[in-house]
Structure 1
Amino acid sequence: MKALAEAWEEALEGLVAHEDRHVVYLNPAAARLLGVAREKVMGRPLLLALRDHRLEALALHGGERLLEVRDRLLRVKALPGRLYLLDESEAQRRLRTLEEAAETLAHELRTPLAGMGPLLEALTPRTPQEKEVLALLRAEVARLSRLAEGLSPVRPGPRRPVVLLELWGRLERLLGERLKGKEVEVHLPHTLATDPEALFQILLNLLDNALKYGRDPIRLLSRQEGPRLGLEVRDRGGALPDYEALFLPGRRGVAEGRGQGLGLYLVRRLARALGGEAYARREGEENVFGVSLPLD
């Protein structure tokens, strides 16, 4: 117990322990983040230490939120009798810097990609093998163009009814060889009024993620949940320690892997631009990565 107490005294994460709406413990990190003196709030009413009704409500009722408190952006998580505080101000600043860099990169990619399309169209394949290679090159250039647009601030295009099963046909053609030997089950019976290109990019990134890191069988499915539609890719990979962190840029679910860890980050940006949200969780023996989008 002594070692645990010493660890919390040195921790970067703030901890406020409370009972009957009174503070029973406040570590130095929490005192710094809340801007209070420990000796003045120990044993006093909880609100006196928190000085914020939003924090008090979380502490009393539980939950997790990202809140701006005392000019800091705090990740706040409340469990019975405990309130955890983590300063994410620097992480958010880095994220803004990364988004600016991504915008610059997208701008620099657009010009060469725009020139590659006409060059490929000018080629005349003479054999079936050359024709197949040219088709793959065109598909990859189109994919790179979509990725470049995905790096820019997301602006959804015109919405129209999209038959989800038709998107699977496009995915199948684009992924081609990567799907061979894979056990992929597809159940997409719905039609959704949305931006088809944004939705295609979401499904491409989710499926690409499962093909890289998941295990068969991989299931691509849609299901209605009241006024919303859930689109999910499920696989039998091992349980992951932190699903929410995978939506941060540069994060992958395994220590080693291909890519820059931007796929799920882009999925969340696109989902929010369409009025929805992206999520990931463990459900039974499956890892579930999906988006929830409004039907209307």
Structure 2
Amino acid sequence: MTGAVRGGTSMPDLWMDTLAQAVLLTEGGVVTRLNAAAARLWGVPQERAEGRPVLEVVRRHTLETLLERGGELELEVSGRTLRCAATREGTAAALIVEDVTEHRRREAELREATAVLSHEFRTPVAALRGVLEALEYDMPRELSQNFVRQGLQETERLARLVEDLAVGFRPTRARTLPLAEAFTRAERLLGTELGARQASLTFGPDHLVRADPDKLLQVLLNLIENALKYGPVGKGIEVQTAERGTWIEVCVLDHGPSIPDTDSLFQAHTRGAGAPGQGSGMGLYIVRSIVQGWGGQAWVERRGERNAFCFTLPGVAGLG
């Protein structure tokens, strides 16, 4: 007697049916038992599966071979990721199948979050390096204090990013601010790059907006850096602003070549065709994610001879 029986089902069988993993047992290539999860996975009632050849139940030669040889593998089946493991002892074999789709999704989200944070850390770290390099030289006290203030500001920004990493991206710290405040910060931080590219940077009329100042700065930096990187040397970059109902539209215009398939640029790890150098392909993905977080939209369009990288953010009445 192999075990106590309740209602015609042995206790070991009841235990197998409580498992979340699909379990299939075979003897000589014939199914001797499968639990409830396996019956759901392969759509075969338990009583009908027993005594049938393995292939008739699992309907995949890959799994049949795995049972014959033993080992592990992962399969993509109907949009699900299945981790399969098989063991053998003589003519008996067991197959265990676990749905790891959610686990793989979380791993992908973690990789994506790491890429986003890596991209966001780059700008304040570069700014701090510039501040420290400048402070190595003798300069008037007023100028050195200005560099110290800039360094402290970027240190605070880094601290916020560390907090975001610790708590899994907190809700935005939105406040009302003039666009000119973000424009001034962006122009200061990009001064070296603007000089290297011999490019001027002009801004449109000021507007009051509602946004997280650091996230708004990140959007502007990403778009202006792209314009500098992909536009011709010596050409000016213009940041246009306009009211669109209760929203404010901001567009960064460059003199780069026309861009095909613009919507795909906002996907993660995607770069434009023919993009020079190396890059993470995360910049525009970050832009769209931030903008959508405050309910706005981000897009690219062609305006005359220039590319316009645009986004919208909530406006606040009172500043024209």
TM-score by length of 2: 0.51
Q: Residue 218 of structure 2: which of 201, 206, 210 is its match?
A: 201
Question: Hey, what does 1:232 align to over in structure 2?
Answer: 251
Q: Which residue of 2 aligns with 1:255?
A: 275
**Contact 1:243-1:280 within 8 A present in 2 as well:** yes
In 2, Cα distance between equivalents of 1:96 and 1:168: 36
**Contiguous gaps of at least 5 residues in structure 1:** 1-70, 73-92
Distance in structure 1 (CA, Å) of the matches to 2:106 and 2:253: 31
Task: Give the equivalent residue in structure 2 for 1:278.
Answer: 298
Distance 1:162 1:137, change over 3 A: closer
Residue 268 of structure 1 aligns with an amino acid whose one-letter code is R
In structure 2, relative to structure 1, the CA distance for the partners of 1:97 and 1:208 (3 Å cut) is: farther
Q: 1:123-162 deviations in whole A, cap 9, x for unaligned?
A: x856239x69x76877876776677778896544332221
* C-alpha distance in structure 2 between counterparts of 1:173 and 1:270, whole Å: 22
Q: Which residue of 2 aligns with 1:163?
A: 178
Asked if structure 2 preserves the Cα contact closer than 8 Å seen for 1:247 and 1:264, the reply is yes
Q: For residue 110 of structure 2, what is the aligned residue in structure 1? A: 100
1:174 to 164, 168, 189: 189
Q: Structure 1's 239 and 146: CA in aligned 2 closer, same or farther, altered over 3 A?
A: farther
Is the 8 Å Cα contact of residues 210 and 235 (structure 1) preserved in structure 2? Answer: yes
Deviates more, 1:158-167 or 1:93-102: 93-102
1:128 aligns with 2:158: no
- Matched-pair contact (CA < 8 Å) for 2:230–2:275: no
8 Å CA contact retained: 1:236, 1:287: yes
Counterpart position of 2:24: none
Percent identical among aligned pairs is: 35
For the residue of structure 2 that corresponds to 1:290, the secondary structure is strand
Return the alpha-carbon distance in structure 2 between the equivalents of residues 126 and 228 of structure 1: 45
Which segments of 5 or more consecutive residues in structure 2 lack a partner in the other structure?
Answer: 1-77, 80-102
SS at match of 2:190: helix
- State the Cα RMSD in Å: 4.1
Cα deviations by residue, 1:39-95 (Å, 9 ceiling, x for unpaired): xxxxxxxxxxxxxxxxxxxxxxxxxxxxxxxx87xxxxxxxxxxxxxxxxxxxx999
Q: Aligned pairs, how many?
A: 198
Matched position secondary structure for 1:128: coil
Query: CA 1:149/1:172 → structure 2, altered by over 3 Å: closer, same or farther?
Result: farther
Which residue type is aligned with residue 285 of structure 2?
A: Y
**Inter-CA distance 194–183: structure 2 relative to 1 (3 Å threshold):** same
AA of the residue aligned to 2:312: S
1:281-292 paired onto structure 2 within 5 Å: 281-292=301-312
CA apart distance, 1:226 = 1.3
Alpha-carbon distance, 1:230 to partner: 0.6
CA contact (8 A) 1:161 1:191 kept: yes
How many angstroms apart in 2 are the aligned matches of 1:150 and 1:217? Answer: 35
Q: Secondary structure at the match of 1:251?
A: coil
Distance 1:246 1:97, change over 3 A: farther
For the residues of structure 1 that align with 2:157 and 2:163, how far apart are their CA atoms? 10
Residues 266, 288 of structure 2: 8 Å contact kept: yes
Question: Residue 194 of structure 2 aligns to which amino acid in structure 1?
Answer: L
Displacement of 1:260 in angstroms is 1.1
**Structure 2 counterpart of 1:202, one-letter code:** V
Counterpart amino acid of residue 202 in structure 2: E
The aligned counterpart of 1:84 is none
Query: 2:114 and 2:313 mapped to 1: Cα distance?
Result: 29
1:144-191 deviations in Å (ceiling 9; x for gaps): 667777889654433222111121111122112111220222114211
2:291–2:313: 8 Å Cα contact kept in structure 1?
Answer: yes
The letter of the residue matching 2:250 is L
AA partner of residue 177 (structure 2): V
Pairing partner for 2:227 from 207, 210, 214: 210
TM-score of the pair, normalised by structure 1: 0.54
Indicate conservation of the 8 Å contact 2:210/2:313, yes or no.
no
Q: Distance in 2 between matches of 1:148 and 1:248?
A: 25
CA contact (8 A) 1:221 1:233 kept: yes
Q: 1:191 to 1:98 in 2, by over 3 A?
A: same
Structure of higher CA gyration radius? 2
> Of residues 261, 272, 295 in structure 2, which corresponds to 1:242?
261
Question: Equivalent residue of 2:280, what SS?
Answer: coil
Alpha-carbon distance, 1:229 to partner: 1.0
